[in-house]
Amino acid sequence: MEERIAKLALADGTVFTGNGFGATGEVYGEVVFNTSMTGYQEILTDPSYFGQIVTMTYPLIGNYGANEVDVESGRVALRGFVVRELCRFPSNHRLDWSLESYLEQNGVIGIEGIDTRALVRRIRIHGAMTGVLSTTDNDDASLVNKAQSSPELAGQDLVREVMPKETEEWSESLDELVQSPVTPGYEGLHETASAPSQGPHVVAIDYGMKWNIPRHLRQLGCRVTVVPGTSTAAEVLAHEPDGVFLSNGPGDPRPLDYAVETIRGLLGEKPIFGICLGHQLLGLALGGEIFKLKFGHRGANQPVLNHSTGQVEITTQNHGFALDPESLDDDIEVTHVNLNDQTVEGIRSRRQGAFGVQYHPEASAGPHDSHYLFGDFRKMLIN
């Protein structure tokens, strides 16, 4: 196969030259890294990566290809994909496409053959930064100038780019749901999945939601209505929910004043559960403050301490911002912390009937240590 030159230029002046795959063209985005060994298709289709160029730290990517099932949204969300070595001849009985053809069909530029260890080390030392990935411009100085003049991710409202435009009822094959693993300790709740219309009604506010989230809620017998991230509190309450779910999503939560206002209008009205961006927005609605992490948490191996049980959960994460614990008032309990850097990973307001976690308990891909949180939320809906 004919190789084509691709270049990744960073805003600090560093340029990496490798081989392009997937689509051709040029994109800019925040360059970040993910430490997962597998699950690249779920990463590609996670709306939380919108606006980013993602580097995989595991050296060989693409060995099992891609398929129609392992997707977390209706499109490939990220702007560029960086790997050390691309497997061009995958083997998998569920294979529909090679990774190369999958990216090409979805208009995403990939680059392989660069020193990803050096790139990740630079990001860890200097922080996530804007970069330009190009198969059309081979001039290093030109690309660096473009990277330096491209807008940073912080301060942008990216939710409007990935959220659904209309309200819809989530539906999926109940046969598939019943065959999926049951969350330990909630086997009885799983029985109601055969008749979700009779179970609690959850309104999920979609800021860029992964599809495995409503799958978990349906598995526990909930009826799920998905509404756009710009929905008001009145619009959410008009659906007469038993509880409200705040989804993950891309970028900086601080510009999302409309989302914070909605959540403030829902606090104390209905039980609330938020994850990732939803957790951050919940924290803002409760009076907390947000800061940007140096290089973020992205991967399926982040250790989190659950304060109430003393147990360590290995979690899937994807975020570049965090809640400042010093900004939280006495009503807000910090329930989980990251054991790598002690950042806030979970909060709860018992008075307001709301809780959130910074990580992804639905995983996909990743460990199942935190599935119990969906069961905890469902119990709040029927009490």
Report CA torsion sign: 72, 74, 79, 83.
Answer: positive
Please report, as a single letter, which amino acid is at residue 136: T
CA 237 to chain centre: 26
* Number of residues in the chain: 383
Q: pLDDT of 267-305, one tens digit each?
A: 999 999 999 999 999 999 999 999 999 999 999 999 999
Closest CA to 70 of 176, 171, 211, 217: 211
Residue 195's pLDDT is what? 53
Q: What are phi and psi of 264, to 5 degrees?
A: -60, -35
CB atoms within 10 A of CB 221: 24
pLDDT at 3: 77
Q: Note the pLDDT of residue 2.
A: 64
Q: Distance (Å, rounded) from C-alpha 375 to C-alpha 219? A: 10
Local structure of residue 277 (DSSP, 8 states): H
Give just the sign of the alpha carbon dihedral 30, 36, 37, 42: negative
Residue that the structure tokens 């430490």 belong to: 35
Q: 350 and 194 in contact (C-beta within 8 Å)? A: no
d(CA 332, CA 377): 17
How many of the other CB atoms lie within 10 Å of CB of 70? 18
The low-confidence residues of the chain, meaning pLDDT below 50, are: 173-194
Q: Is the sign of the CA dihedral 350, 354, 360, 364 positive or negative?
A: positive
Positions marked catalytic: 276, 360, 362
Report the pLDDT value the prediction gives residue 193, as an integer from 0 to 100. 44
Give the span between the Cα atoms of 71 and 320, in whole angstroms.
22
Q: Helix crossing, 277-285 with 257-266: angle to 10°?
A: 70
CA 309 to chain centre: 26
Identity at 170, one-letter amino acid code? W
